[in-house]
Every structure is written in structure tokens, then in C-alpha cells.
């Protein structure tokens, strides 16, 4: 790629940023689509976040991804926020406008699209969501936003699950989200649940761990979706499959949040063929060839 006076710059703000796969995804997209765009990681310290966002705007940076730990704190530095991202209270994508940056949450629209690519529907579903941290909170919003009938939020710390459930129910004017202590999963009636694993238990290198080990839990699950993508097949996924369900990891979520950001920055539409091509590159990059 030839960087020249017309190149537009996009990037990632976070801390740490050294293990990010985003530059690989975005620079490959730019190359494949023939866009004169370059994407770079920016390590930003907490006390410099405001300066970094103001400086990025002054430097005419077209778009930014925002990652841990700034997805919520960056909101006060925006000129505008997308409605769903505003309700979630977290943004991962900034798009340059005439007055400043507008914030979006493509983690969630990306997860929704990633699920769609696997024919997983949310409308009318009963969802078990493991975890009540930043990711699970956003997933709870997304599930209700896209029409899930019920979301059972299971967490080790019940108080956190209760707080998240109340926040989602109030913001979306619903009573769809119910908080439970993880070990009370057995109170859930019936089976055919969509279960989304949103804790960091099972993340590499702790690949033999999962929050619930009992087989009767996994018999309730029709489809399991782990937000973790390292390892490629988590213990949660293995147990879902052992009980006869289908299981997916979070790599497509990672891919689609990036594709959605790229589309917002470039007013482009990325074909499913190109998405599939990048997905294969991502798997190779992670040494996870299936
Ligand atoms: P977080 O805010 O730190 O939340 C961690 C959650 O895990 C909390 O609910 C916590 O429960 C629970 N937890 C941690 N250790 C536990 C243990 N030993 N036993 C039981 N529960 C435990 O983390 P996050 O930002 O939400 O991220 C969660 C996961 O999502 C990470 O693995 C991350 O890699 C993944 N993720 C993937 C993508 C993607 O693109 N695929 C995007 C975002 C996040 P307590 O409340 O009881 O502490």
C-alpha cells in the first residue's frame, strides 16, 4: 500500500493495544477494496484520553476504535452518540462528523450480525447470559433490543447481575432481564435456550475452565455462543456440544465489529464473500485453522 498525501487515517485507542488484531483486519480491507486508508494502534494513557480524542480530530483522523478501558469514559468527549450505544453506555467506534466524533457500539451490532451469519436468531428467544461485566452488560442490552423474550443473567456476584438487569430493564422499559446467582441455573425451566458465555473464564491459558461444569446445565442449551475466541474451542463450547447443542466462538464477533466500523468510516458495504476471506485470514493469524 502506498501512503501518500491523500491517505486517510483510522486507528485504535486503548491500553494495552499490542495484541490487537484490528490493524490486520482494517489494513487488509483497505487493500482488498482499493481504499487509500491506513489503520494504526495508539497506546493512550488514562490521563491523556481527552487530549488524544481532541488531537485525533485536529489531525483529521477519519475514524477510531476504542477498546479497554475507555469504552465508557470516552463518551463525554463525543459530539453525538448513536441511540443504541447511548443506552448501552459504551462505544467502540468513533466516526468523524462536522462537529466532532459520533460514537457507535459495533461490538453489539457486530455480534448480532455474527450470530445472523450462523443463523442464530434473537427475536422470541429465551437467553441465558453468563456474566455481568462490561461485555455481558452490552450483550444483555443487545438481546432485548433485538427482541429476545427473556434474558436470564447468571453471575457469580448476584449484586452485579441485579444492577445490570435493572439498568437494562429501566433503559429499555421492559422486565425481560432477570438476575440469578450462577449456581441457581437449575431453577430455569425447560430447555432449548440460547446461552451466551460472557465471562472471562476459559480464556487462554485457562482453557480447561468454565463457570458451570454440570451436565444438566448444558442439556438446557440448544445453541451456545462464547464471546471468547482464544482458544478456538472453549470448555463451554465443548460441554455444549457434548450435550448435543451447537457451539460457536467469538471470532466472528471480533470480525463483524471491525467490518461494521469500517463500513461506517467509509460508507462502504462489505460483501459476505470478503467477510469470509478476512475470517480465514484471521483464523490463520491466530493459528486456529479448522
Ligand atoms: P469484565 O468486565 O472483567 O467481566 C468479567 C465477568 O466474568 C464478570 O461477570 C465476572 O463475575 C466473571 N468472572 C471472572 N472470573 C470469574 C470466575 N473465576 N468465576 C466466575 N465468574 C467469573 O470482562 P468483560 O470486558 O465483560 O469481558 C468478558 C469476556 O468477553 C472476555 O473473555 C473477553 O475476551 C470477551 N470479549 C470478546 C469480544 C469479541 O470480540 N469476541 C469482545 C468483548 C469481550 P463477577 O461479577 O462475579 O466478578
The reply to whether the predicted model has a pTM over 0.85 is yes
Name the band, by pLDDT with cuts 50, 70 and 90, for residue 2: confident
Place of cell 451490532: 109
pLDDT tens digits for 46-55?
999 999 999 9
- Residue 54 dihedral angles phi and psi, to the nearest 5°: -60, -45
Q: If you compute the radius of gyration of the chain from its CA atoms, what whole number of angstroms results? A: 19
- Per DSSP bridges, beta strands 101-104 and 150-155 are unpaired
From the list 32, 46, 50, 71, the catalytic residue is 71
Residue 78 pLDDT exceeds 70:
yes
For residues 90-104, give the mean pLDDT.
Answer: 97
Mean pLDDT of 271-279: 96
Mutate to test the pocket of ligand 1, among 133, 157, 237 (most ligand atoms within 8 A of CB): 133
Strands 93-96 and 101-104: antiparallel
CA distances from 22 to 40, 56, 185, 197 (A): 9, 18, 36, 22
Do residues 14 and 93 touch, judged by C-beta distance below 8 A?
Answer: no
**For a pLDDT cut of 90, what percent of the chain falls above it?**
95
Query: Rounded CA gap, 159 and 89, in Å?
Result: 19
Any ligand 1 atom below 6 A from CB of 14: no
Q: Distance from CA of residue 238 to its chain's centroid? A: 21
Pick the closest to residue 145 from 120, 109, 106, 95 (CA basis): 109
pLDDT tens digits, 31-45:
999 999 999 999 999
Q: Quick one: average pLDDT of 119-146?
A: 95
Write down the pLDDT at residue 134: 87
CA atoms within 13 A on the CB side of 148: 29
Residues 6+ apart with CB under 8 A from 268: 33, 35, 262
In angstroms, the CA 127 to CA 150 distance is 6
Whether the CB of 35 sits within 6 Å of ligand 1: no
- Strand segments, DSSP code E, in 35-74 are 37-43, 63-66
Minimum-distance ligand 1 atom for the alpha carbon of 110: 40
pLDDT tens readout for residues 160-209:
999 999 999 999 999 999 999 999 999 999 999 999 999 999 999 999 99
Average pLDDT over residues 114-120: 95
pLDDT at 24 over 80: yes
For residues 89-113, give the mean pLDDT: 96
Beta strands at 126-130 and 101-104: parallel, antiparallel or unpaired: unpaired
Q: Using CA positions, which residue lies closest to atom 4 of ligand 1?
A: 133
Only one residue has cell 471468547, namely 228
Say what the pLDDT of residue 290 is: 44
All three cell numbers of 175? 422486565
Question: How many Å lie between the centroid of ligand 1 and the Cα of residue 133?
Answer: 6
At 289, the pLDDT band (50, 70, 90 cuts) reads very low
- Check pLDDT > 90 for residue 106: yes
Q: Which residues lie below 8 Å from residue 191, measured CB to CB, with a gap of 6+?
A: 219, 220, 221, 222
Amino acid at each position: 500500500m502506498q501512503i501518500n498525501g491523500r491517505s486517510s487515517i483510522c486507528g485504535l485507542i486503548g491500553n494495552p493495544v499490542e495484541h490487537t488484531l484490528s490493524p490486520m483486519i482494517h489494513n487488509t480491507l483497505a487493500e482488498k477494496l482499493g481504499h487509500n486508508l491506513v489503520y494504526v494502534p495508539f497506546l493512550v494513557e488514562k490521563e491523556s484520553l481527552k487530549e488524544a480524542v481532541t488531537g485525533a480530530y485536529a489531525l483529521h483522523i477519519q475514524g477510531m476504535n476504542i477498546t479497554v478501558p475507555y469504552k465508557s469514559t470516552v463518551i463525554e468527549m463525543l459530539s453525538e452518540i448513536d441511540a443504541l450505544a447511548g443506552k448501552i453506555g459504551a462505544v467502540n467506534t468513533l466516526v468523524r462528523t462536522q462537529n466532532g466524533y459520533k460514537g457507535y457500539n459495533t461490538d453489539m451490532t457486530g455480534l448480532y450480525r455474527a450470530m445472523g451469519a450462523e443463523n442464530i436468531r434473537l427475536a422470541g428467544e429465551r437467553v441465558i447470559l453468563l456474566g455481568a461485566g462490561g461485555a455481558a452488560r452490552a450483550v444483555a442490552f443487545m438481546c432485548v433490543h433485538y427482541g429476545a423474550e427473556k434474558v436470564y443473567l447468571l453471575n457469580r456476584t448476584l449484586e452485579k447481575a441485579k444492577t445490570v438487569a435493572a439498568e437494562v430493564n429501566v433503559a429499555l422499559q421492559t422486565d425481560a432481564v432477570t438476575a440469578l446467582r450462577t449456581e441457581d441455573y437449575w431453577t430455569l425451566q425447560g430447555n432449548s435456550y440460547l446461552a451466551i458465555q460472557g465471562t472471562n473464564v476459559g480464556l487462554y491459558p485457562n482453557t480447561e475452565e468454565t463457570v458451570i461444569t454440570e451436565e444438566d446445565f448444558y442439556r438446557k442449551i440448544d445453541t451456545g455462543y462464547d464471546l471468547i475466541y482464544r482458544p478456538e474451542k472453549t470448555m463451554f463450547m465443548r460441554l455444549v456440544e457434548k450435550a448435543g447443542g451447537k457451539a460457536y466462538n467469538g471470532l466472528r464477533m471480533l470480525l463483524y465489529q471491525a467490518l461494521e466500523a469500517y463500513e461506517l468510516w467509509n460508507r462502504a458495504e462489505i460483501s459476505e464473500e470478503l467477510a469470509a476471506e478476512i475470517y480465514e485470514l484471521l483464523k490463520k493469524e491466530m493459528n486456529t485453522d479448522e
